[in-house]
Amino acid sequence: MKETDLKIRTKQFALRVIRVYLALLKRGATEVLGKQLPRSGTSVGAHYREAQRAKSTADFISKIEGALQELDESQYWLELLIDSETLPARKLAPLIAECKELLAIFVRIAKSAKQQI
């Protein structure tokens, strides 16, 4: 995957998370779920962009692992939205699938970078 493709994809992920957040506001969802998801979901792309400007391989790995943590957290919040019956699973399934795909991509990137050390 090209760097620009992943940049676009992580930005699209963030925009989708923002849309979920906006839907939550209309539904009166809890403060915790409503605020945590956009924080983690929008941080993925920011970490990836920071990684592109890393000063070293170790710094790159750190930023990529930061994106991994944010993706994992985003998946957790999405699962809580489903399990709490705040939003239906069918509406969040595509976003969860994208989250899992991004997790797999970032794991591969991290492993590849670690082999360079």
Q: What is the DSSP letter of 84?
A: T
Task: Tell me the residue range of the domain where 98 lies.
Answer: 3-115
pLDDT one-digit tens code per residue, 73-102 = 999 999 999 998 888 999 999 999 999 999
Q: What is the per-residue pLDDT across 43-63, written as a single tens digit (0 to 9) for each? A: 999 999 999 999 999 999 999
pTM beyond 0.75: yes
Looking at the structure of the chain, the number of domains it has is: 1
**Tokens of residue 39, six digits:** 């924080």
Angle (nearest 5°) at CA 64 between 81 and 31: 25
CATH code for the domain in which residue 76 is found: 1.20.1440.60
Q: Rounded CA gap, 111 and 113, in Å?
A: 5
